[in-house]
Structure 1
Amino acid sequence: MSAYTYDFNEWPTGFRINPRQEGPSADLIEAFRSIPVAVAGDCLGRCVGARGLRSYHGDPALKMCGPAFTLRVRPGDNLMVHKALMMVQPGDVLVIDGGGDLSQAVIGGLVRTTALRVKLGGIVIDGAVRDLEELAEGIVPVFAAGHTHRGPSKDGPGEINIPIACAGLCVMPGDLMLGDADGVIAIPQEVAARLLPKTLAHLEREAAIRETNRLGTANPERFDSLLRTKGLPV
């Protein structure tokens, strides 16, 4: 049976726990740690990435890079979050579809304490967090849609390791999650190895452009030719 085949004779309606999916190799994950989210987004067509999330871990220099461990929860409920934390491996990124609801926090200081123990690579939630002072201590990158003091229920339902939509971002279990001060992006696992050299080449091109901008030696034709195609006499 496929990991994504639903058997409602086996699971109560609305509940599903699939096994953890292996992500990219450790070497590939390590190589992507130096790649900015904006560069990865450029190389994926500039139309991919989460929207409306902000960082809550305090340190803007703290980067997130690891395989996605996906969840869908009932808004304001974190029963399956606690189950997921029993299943993750060090470096995994918990990616949670919380329906964008901000009325109750799904993640807080107690979950962060467990996340530190299991060496979680990060938390991304289309939903709310709380206990901001604890989250702002850093170590675990946390990105969320908002925050509230109101705590979660623990009733379910919820689903673990299924394809989800998180803040406009399609995420499959095992996809490579990147997060930094600019935002969050998911790199499909099947394209990660091919994308890496493109991102490195993109960084080299940007470095060259940055230097001509700094020196004032940029070729004006780079933009004038674009303007002429629009019919402007430049």
Structure 2
Amino acid sequence: MSNLGYRVIENIKRPSEELMKGFERLQVANIDDSMNRMGAINESIHQMNGRNVLGPAFTVKVPSGDNLMIFLAIEKAKPGDIIVIDGDGNMERALVGEMLAKFAQSKKIGGFVINGCIRDYDVVHKMEIPIFAKGRTPNGPFRNGPGEINTPISIGRKVIFPGDIIIGDSDGVIVVRPEDAKDLQKKAIEIEQKEAAIIDRIEAGNGMDIEWIYKKLEAENCEIIKGE
């Protein structure tokens, strides 16, 4: 009998190292453009210590303000896994602080993405392990449970499945299904090359070609009035 809301799924299917490596040098913004600008997690979850994140999602769902199952998730995750935590967006209690961050770093966890808060910021923001969260508060969490590990979760308007590829930089976090990865990598590289050519033109003093804007305005009957 399944105990919904209080269960742990230990084994998940992770994307290959080769597949994830294809995202290493790509900007989150360009990957998002490749997804019709619809792939990013809500902007409220942002970089807390200047470290980029890339790896498979190891998901955790916890009650608001409770971190019991996060301890267990760190223990069971593999090196490189990203602990993605649905903490219900609670801003009243921190779910991860110095102790859990150091525990995760000692196990070579790939990082945290937290729909909630951290604490012990003076220490945590200097650590090597990447951390993305909504904010920080000194209030500590409860450790009562229940919770779930490696079930689908929803954070920042995105559904995340265990094993999804999590990519984060200073712009924010994006979620990629492994079966979409190769196509998105190709598209993001094409966008990167196109943008580089535009920037080269601008820096050479040749401005930007915006003829397409005039064509769009004309097609939509925009009235352009010359001033005196």
**Aligned mate of 1:158, from 136, 147, 151:** 147
Shift of 1:75: 1.1
Shift of 1:53: 1.2
Shift of 1:230: 2.1
Name the residue aligned to 2:17: 26
Please state if 1:188 is matched with 2:177.
Answer: yes
Shift of 1:219: 2.5
Letter in 1 for 2:31: A
Q: Is the 8 A contact 2:53 2:111 kept in 1?
A: yes
Q: Give the alignment of 1:14-53 within 5 angstroms.
A: 14-51=5-42, 52-53=44-45
Letter in 1 for 2:81: D
Q: Is the 8 A contact 1:103 1:150 kept in 2?
A: yes
Distance in 2 separating the partners of 1:139 and 1:188: 26
Shift of 1:105: 0.7
Which TM-score applies when normalising by structure 2? 0.92
Name the residue aligned to 2:219: 229
Distance in 2 separating the partners of 1:220 and 1:195: 26
Three-state SS of the structure 1 residue aligned to 2:32 is: helix
Name the residue aligned to 2:167: 178
Q: What do you get for the CA RMSD once the two structures are aligned?
A: 1.4
Shift of 1:86: 1.2
Letter in 2 for 1:219: D
Name the residue aligned to 1:3: none
**Aligned mate of 2:188, from 194, 199, 212:** 199
Name the residue aligned to 1:83: 72
Letter in 1 for 2:48: Y
Name structure 2 gaps, 5 residues minimum: none
List per-residue Cα deviations over 1:160-194 (Å, max 9, x = no partner).
Answer: 00111012221110000011100011111221122
Q: Is the 8 A contact 1:37 1:185 kept in 2?
A: yes
Which TM-score applies when normalising by structure 1? 0.90
Q: Which moved more, 1:91-100 or 1:130-139?
A: 130-139
Distance in 2 separating the partners of 1:220 and 1:183: 28
Count of residues in Structure 1 that have an aligned counterpart in Structure 2: 222
Three-state SS of the structure 1 residue aligned to 2:218 is: helix
Shift of 1:56: 1.3
Q: Is the 8 A contact 2:46 2:173 kept in 1?
A: no
Question: CA 1:138–1:228 in 2, change beyond 3 Å: closer, same or farther?
Answer: farther
